[in-house]
Structures are given as C-alpha cells and as structure tokens.
Amino acid sequence: MLLIECPWCGPRDEAEFACGGEAHIARPAEPAALSDAEWADYLFMRKNPKGLHRERWCHTLGCRRWFNVERSTITHEITRIYAMGEAAPANENEGEA
C-alpha cells in the first residue's frame, strides 16, 4: 500500500491516484525520420528497472494534477517527488538493487 505525497494535497492513499508509468520518455522531434526499430523503442520499450524507477502519477480523485515520483521497485519506498517537466534527478543508484 503506497502513501503518496501529492505536491498540492499532501499525503494521500494510493487508491486516489492513477499511475502513468515510466517518466521522461520524450516524443521524438521528427517521428517520420525514425526507423521502425527506433519508433518501436520510443513506443514500446521500457527500462523496467529493478531498483529506482522514475514514474508519473496523477491525483485523479483529488486535484487531478500530474507529477513525477522516484520510487524503489524493490521496497516500494518513495524517495523523491518532483514536478512534471523537471529533469530526472541525477542519481547513481537508478536501476540498482
């Protein structure tokens, strides 16, 4: 069970949120210039790390705003909450056990 700290509403039960999956996947500037493999990489391939995961959450049943979360996929511990559009935090432990 996750207790997620919405930047606007404070700590709330996981059931109030929707998970938007991996964060920081930038849409290619020129999609038509990509090969099929590059397009597939953008569309379907995921990091799916065992360790720290940067992901998007939306407070659907609250303020309905999106934000980024850094969370361990091993312990479920949330280590950082930061705004949409903010760069991924530099962290050596990304994806590490």
Partner 1 sequence: MSRYSIFSLIRHARTGHRDWPRAWRSPEPKPAYDVVIVGGGGHGLATAYYLAKEHGIANVAVLEKGWLGGGNTGRNTTVIRSNYLWDSSAALYEKSLQLFEGLSQELNFNVMLSQRGLVGLAHTQHDLREIARRVNAIRLNGIDSELLTPAQIKELVPIINISPTVRYPVIGGSIQRRGGVARHDAVAWGLARGADMRGVDIIENCAVTGIRREGGRVTGLETTRGAIATGKVGIAVAGHSSVLAAMAGFRLPIESHPLQALVSEPIKPIIDTVVMSGTVHVYVSQSDRGELVMGAGIDVFNSYAQRGSLPVIESMLAAAVELFPIFSRLKMMRKWGGIVDVCPDASPIIGLTPVDGLYLNCGWGTGGFKSTPGSGWVFAHTIATGAPHPLNAAFSLERFHSGALIDEHGAAAVAH
Residues forming the site for Zn ion (CB under 5 A): 6, 8-9, 59, 62-63
Binding partner selected for residue 7 from partner 1, Zn ion, none, CB under the kind-specific 5 to 8 Å limit? none
Least Cβ distance, residue 61 to partner 1 (angstroms): 12
Distances (CA, A) of 53 to 10, 34, 37, 67: 21, 27, 24, 14
Minimum Å gap between C-beta 23 and Zn ion is 17
4: β partners:
12
CB of 71 to partner 1, least distance (A): 7
What is the token pair recorded at 73?
């996929």
Sorted by sequence, the CB contacts under 8 Å of residue 53 that are 6+ apart come out as 22, 47, 70, 71, 72, 73, 95
CB nearer partner 1, residue 14 or residue 86: 14
Interacting residues with partner 1 (CB under 8 A): 1-2, 13-15, 18-19, 21-22, 36-37, 39-41, 43-50, 53, 55, 71, 73-76, 95
For 30, residues 6+ apart whose C-beta sits below 8 A from its C-beta are none
Q: How far is the CB of 26 from partner 1 (least distance, A)?
A: 16
